Chains A and B, each alone.
Chain A
Amino acid sequence: MTTTTPPTGPLALPSGEEPRRNPLGAFARPTATAGWRSWMTSVDHKRIGIMYGAASLFFLLIGGFEALLIRVQLAQPDGQLLSADAYNQIYTMHGTTMIFLVVMPIGAAFMNYLIPLQIGARDVAFPRLNALSFWTFMGGGIVLNSSWLLGGGADGGWFNYAPNNGVVFSPSHGIDFWNMGLLITGIASLVGAINLIVTCLNLRAPGMTFFKMPVFTWMGLVTQFLLLFAIPVLTAAQFLLLFDRLFGARFFDTSAGADPLLWEHLFWIFGHPEVYIMILPAFGVISEIMPTFSRKPIFGYPFMIFSGIAIGFMGWGVWAHHMFASGVGPLSVAAFSVSTMFIAVPTGVKIFNWLATMWGGRLKFSAPMLYSVGLVTMFTIGGLSGVTHAVAASDTQQTDTYYIVAHFHYVLFGGALFGFIGGWYFWWPKVFGYVLNDRVGKVNFWILLIGFNLTFGPMHILGLQGMPRRIYSYRDGYGFNLWNFVSTVGAFIIAVSFLIFFWNIVRSRRAHVRSGATMVADPWDARSLEWSVPSPTPAHNFDVVPTIRRLDDFWHRKYQEDAGGKLVRVATSEEVAQPGNGEGVHLPSPSYWPLVLSAGFPFVAWGLIFNLWLCLVGGILVVAAIYGWVLEPSTAPEAHRGSDDHDPDDHPAPTDDGAAATPEEAALVD
């Protein structure tokens, strides 16, 4: 039942047989667990989660810089910083970067790190595929942003509506980079989704039934199903666009009678579930934080789960509300208007469950809790303006104005990003072994909250005044000046708040090193399984895979009801954590092939744009890596040392003395 077994593919050798030498001996599985090479070849879900987080922070800097350029341009009338063309590229790339390279991968970072820990697994179902998913995502991000160096970014908006996305209206290669970059990140999402779905379905610890899984893992699972079914629709649309732009097909050629609504439909059938792909993991994050800092179980656990599933299903039935102004006909407009209002019901269920979780709890407003409450309030504001978009009559007034810019920033920044930042403060000690300074975290929160509301609050007013979005400049005298200036000031305050966050990381780490203290496993007195293991999490996750008897099992081993029904503490988290040192735990060895395989994709993309010979390079890399991957021995020969007598399928026996293996030796089998 554990995930420790080396044979990871159907073609791996039967256990008991000596692994054969790799026919390409130079590419034998590496064993290093330290140094930069170990990160490039790592297949550990925790390291991949950390890399996803680091990469998304890097792209956040790029996307944030683009946002500041937009705000500086619009700070006063007749802004001269950017030309119309440059402005088109920057707002397109800002939206694309923030959605595909920041919010989605931050969610992936949390899900990769936490889901195996929360369900009591040693790793994901396919560790190498997990690494492939990360490196492929990086490849897509590089292709997308390489456009800045190779002739300019996409300029059609993050949705790139037809026919503006055709070569007639956008003759530069910007949209090709957009198209290929997102096709590649799509592969990454799909591979990751398959991996995490199989992990959740197959690798839960004994006793961890579906309705004992933590809410975060549940929301992650729903998100992965959304990705699984939404990404291929975008992929289909993007292939059509690719054929149009590079091979002269007629899918979006309106002069040849093509229907531009085809792109809008395919795009939004992907694009609306995408909204929930971004927000559901953040909902999951605060569903872990709220009970911990309210000292109460989550209120209405089954309602939390079923409302998440309902959001997942209903997300597919509302896509055309993005198209009320596109002329889809009165019947469609009415139907999608109604279905859109219905989706507010499960979302409202969640909001009220969070409130009820806090109700009567012993609330502690540490930084993670502040961000969670921030999510609930900001998301509710965004939800209310969302209802005005669901009403088609008001939507046609508001659409393509700054009102909608305000709406989706309240939902995705005030919602998803607030939740994720709260998650950073919450899980930082688990991942890196030191707590971020709470007082700085609170300052960070209030500055972010003020900056956020100064930036996006006035956009409601600008929108209702009629200021159109996607316009690079405006004249004096329309009444737009004041609120645009306020909004720009707010954007810089947001930037300052992120600098405070980075400063907090450095400062807290220094303070931790200076104090020389060891990190406790469970600093928040939390509820789910990941807090039962040491901080930072050891490579093998659990010394002994736990057996689960009830929801919040870890909590209930720390607290039990006395005769009067009152919860009393019966054990510390150290007492609850099982003894052992991971002796005999087999984990798959690192591998070069995910990196090599994903390095092929950018070359194929650049080749299609510039020179088909590059496609050959990419193709060779991909095919060689696939065969190397399949034929790779299931584990590095050296990694067998000292643990040959263990059947890897067995649970390792708990050890009492811990003398059998040093931590270094345990790390060798990683």
Chain B
Amino acid sequence: MTETTLSDELDDARALEQRSERAAAYADGPDGHDHHATNTGISNPKLAMWVFLGSECLLFGGLISTFLLYKHNNQAGGPTPHELYDIELTSISSFVLLMSSLTMVLAVSAIQRGEHSRLRLWLATTAILGATFIAGQVYEFQVFVKEGLGFTTNAAGSAFFALTGFHGVHVSLGIVMLLSALVLSLAGRIPQARAEAVEIVGLYWHFVDVVWVLIFTVVYLIP
């Protein structure tokens, strides 16, 4: 493997050339000095968020499998979640959450164009939509408990509350991130050149929404 042929050398030269071109393209980009030229062309923080979200898939995968195993298991008594669903309510709150992805996109595109007040408006809207979703979840949980299905009632209840609860915690953390971004923006610490910070929060937010689409389908729609 150590022999280097002429074509290898040429490949190397071409690769080096492409790399420096790519680096130059980044250095001259619209937001200029902000990017380091990385091998992938994706900045470190953004790549880290993608990698992190990859691992989150497995966390939710474990919890969804657990729910699928236990969803009809009420051998300790009490109802199962399927007997209690209010699909209309959950559909509305799901719709609210999906709309928050739209407002998140608007927030990112606002800061990329340097429109700070728009950024704050859409960040706040996204946070409010997320909070509305959480409020719907809290209401649902409280109705379930009233109807006799708590976290400790039976295996189906434990699995339901663990899965949707973990998602709720993720949404809540997302809201904290949105509000932090809002405060930082008000403090003048998110200039246009730092639009990527908002974009990274957005990646997380979209992921949480996409996971909800999966949970909504698996938990609520499939009998």
Residue numbers of A with Cβ under 8 A of B are 1-2, 5, 9-11, 13-16, 125-126, 190, 193-195, 197-198, 201-204, 206-207, 209, 228-233, 235-237, 239-240, 243-244, 247-251, 253, 255-259, 262, 265-266, 269, 297-298, 300-302, 547, 549-552, 556, 630, 649
Q: In whole Å, how far is B36's beta carbon from the nearest beta carbon of chain A?
A: 6
Q: A258 touches which one: B20, B36, B73 (CB < 8 A)?
A: B73
Within 8 A of A (CB), among B68-123: 69-70, 73, 75-76
B16 touches A297 (CB 8 A): no
Closest Cβ neighbor of B61 among chain A residues = A233
Contact partners of B28 in chain A: CB under 8 A: none
A256 touches B38 (CB 8 A): no
Q: A550 touches which one: B12, B151, B184 (CB < 8 A)?
A: B12
Max chain B C-beta neighbours (<10 A), residue from A206, A250, A556:
A250
Closest Cβ neighbor of B156 among chain A residues = A250
B2 touches A257 (CB 8 A): no
Closest Cβ neighbor of A550 among chain B residues = B4
Q: In whole Å, how far is A302's beta carbon from the nearest beta carbon of chain B?
A: 7
A302 touches B56 (CB 8 A): no
Q: B155 touches which one: A195, A202, A257, A630 (CB < 8 A)?
A: A257
A14 touches B1 (CB 8 A): no
Contact partners of A14 in chain B: CB under 8 A: 33-34, 191, 193-194
5 cross-chain CB contacts under 8 A = A10-B197, A236-B61, A240-B158, A240-B162, A298-B1
Interface-side segment among B46-54, B129-137, B139-147:
B46-54
Contact partners of A16 in chain B: CB under 8 A: 33
B51 touches A197 (CB 8 A): yes
The 4 closest A-B pairs by CB, nearest first: A257-B75, A236-B62, A256-B76, A10-B197
In the complex, per-residue mask of B29-63: 1 if CB is within 8 Å of any chain A CB, else 0:
00001101111101111111001101111110111
Q: B162 touches which one: A193, A249, A259, A297 (CB < 8 A)?
A: A249
Q: B1 touches which one: A206, A255, A300 (CB < 8 A)?
A: A300
Q: Is B217 an interface residue (CB 8 A)?
A: no
Alpha-carbon gap, A16 to B151, bound state (A) = 53
Contact partners of A257 in chain B: CB under 8 A: 73, 75-76, 154-155
Assuming the contacts A236-B59, A247-B152, A256-B155, asked whether A549 and B12 have C-beta atoms less than 8 A apart, the reply is yes
B12 touches A207 (CB 8 A): yes
A198 touches B1 (CB 8 A): no
Alpha-carbon gap, A250 to B150, bound state (A) = 11
Given A198-B51, A550-B8, 20 new contacts (CB under 8 A): A5-B36, A14-B33, A126-B48, A194-B48, A201-B40, A202-B40, A203-B38, A209-B15, A228-B51, A229-B58, A236-B66, A239-B162, A250-B152, A250-B153, A251-B162, A256-B76, A257-B75, A297-B1, A547-B16, A550-B12
Q: In whole Å, how far is A339's beta carbon from the nearest beta carbon of chain B?
A: 19
Q: A251 touches which one: B9, B23, B45, B159 (CB < 8 A)?
A: B159
Contact partners of A236 in chain B: CB under 8 A: 58-59, 61-63, 66
A206 touches B19 (CB 8 A): yes
Contact partners of A239 in chain B: CB under 8 A: 162, 166
Alpha-carbon gap, A125 to B40, bound state (A) = 13
Max chain B C-beta neighbours (<10 A), residue from A11, A203, A259, A269:
A11
Q: Is B174 an interface residue (CB 8 A)?
A: no
Contact partners of B162 in chain A: CB under 8 A: 239-240, 243, 249, 251
Q: A10 touches which one: B15, B36, B61, B194 (CB < 8 A)?
A: B194
Contact partners of B180 in chain A: CB under 8 A: 630
Closest Cβ neighbor of B2 among chain A residues = A297
A251 touches B158 (CB 8 A): yes
A207 touches B59 (CB 8 A): no
Q: In whole Å, how far is B74's beta carbon from the nearest beta carbon of chain A?
A: 8
Closest Cβ neighbor of B41 among chain A residues = A202
Closest Cβ neighbor of A17 among chain B residues = B191
B73 touches A249 (CB 8 A): no
Alpha-carbon gap, A95 to B78, bound state (A) = 40
Contact partners of A556 in chain B: CB under 8 A: 2, 4
Contact partners of B194 in chain A: CB under 8 A: 10-11, 14
B66 touches A243 (CB 8 A): no
Closest Cβ neighbor of A304 among chain B residues = B1
Q: B47 touches which one: A198, A229, A258, A265 (CB < 8 A)?
A: A198
Contact partners of A265 in chain B: CB under 8 A: 65
Q: A204 touches which one: B12, B39, B51 (CB < 8 A)?
A: B39
Alpha-carbon gap, A190 to B159, bound state (A) = 24
Q: A232 touches which one: B12, B56, B190 (CB < 8 A)?
A: B56
Alpha-carbon gap, A237 to B190, bound state (A) = 39
Alpha-carbon gap, A251 to B152, bound state (A) = 9
A250 touches B62 (CB 8 A): no
Closest Cβ neighbor of A15 among chain B residues = B33
Alpha-carbon gap, A253 to B27, bound state (A) = 59
Q: Is B200 an interface residue (CB 8 A)?
A: yes
Assuming the contacts A202-B44, A301-B1, asked whether A232 and B157 have C-beta atoms less than 8 A apart, the reply is no
Alpha-carbon gap, A2 to B36, bound state (A) = 8
Alpha-carbon gap, A262 to B63, bound state (A) = 11
Contact partners of A262 in chain B: CB under 8 A: 66, 69
A259 touches B69 (CB 8 A): yes
Contact partners of A259 in chain B: CB under 8 A: 69-70
B51 touches A194 (CB 8 A): yes
B76 touches A250 (CB 8 A): yes
B58 touches A201 (CB 8 A): no
Contact partners of B63 in chain A: CB under 8 A: 236
Alpha-carbon gap, A14 to B192, bound state (A) = 10
Max chain B C-beta neighbours (<10 A), residue from A10, A203, A235, A243:
A10
Alpha-carbon gap, A205 to B49, bound state (A) = 23
Closest Cβ neighbor of A227 among chain B residues = B55
Contact partners of B51 in chain A: CB under 8 A: 193-194, 197-198, 228
Q: In whole Å, how far is A550's beta carbon from the nearest beta carbon of chain B?
A: 5
Contact partners of A232 in chain B: CB under 8 A: 55-59, 62
Q: In whole Å, how far is B8's beta carbon from the nearest beta carbon of chain A?
A: 7
Alpha-carbon gap, A194 to B52, bound state (A) = 6
B45 touches A10 (CB 8 A): yes
Alpha-carbon gap, A237 to B52, bound state (A) = 19
Closest Cβ neighbor of B35 among chain A residues = A649
Q: A253 touches which one: B38, B66, B155 (CB < 8 A)?
A: B155
B45 touches A235 (CB 8 A): no
Alpha-carbon gap, A10 to B34, bound state (A) = 9
Q: Is B209 an interface residue (CB 8 A)?
A: no
B37 touches A1 (CB 8 A): yes
Alpha-carbon gap, A249 to B158, bound state (A) = 6
Closest Cβ neighbor of A251 among chain B residues = B158
Q: In whole Å, how far is A608's beta carbon from the nearest beta carbon of chain B?
A: 15
Contact partners of A5 in chain B: CB under 8 A: 36
Alpha-carbon gap, A121 to B27, bound state (A) = 19
Q: In whole Å, how far is B12's beta carbon from the nearest beta carbon of chain A?
A: 5
B152 touches A229 (CB 8 A): no
Contact partners of B73 in chain A: CB under 8 A: 257-258
Contact partners of A235 in chain B: CB under 8 A: 59, 62
A233 touches B76 (CB 8 A): no
Q: In whole Å, how far is A152's beta carbon from the nearest beta carbon of chain B?
A: 26
Assuming the contacts A233-B62, A250-B152, asked whether A207 and B15 have C-beta atoms less than 8 A apart, the reply is yes
Assuming the contacts A198-B44, A201-B47, A207-B12, asked whether A243 and B158 have C-beta atoms less than 8 A apart, the reply is yes
Closest Cβ neighbor of A209 among chain B residues = B15
A258 touches B23 (CB 8 A): no
Alpha-carbon gap, A233 to B9, bound state (A) = 44
A202 touches B75 (CB 8 A): no
Alpha-carbon gap, A209 to B69, bound state (A) = 45
Closest Cβ neighbor of A237 among chain B residues = B62
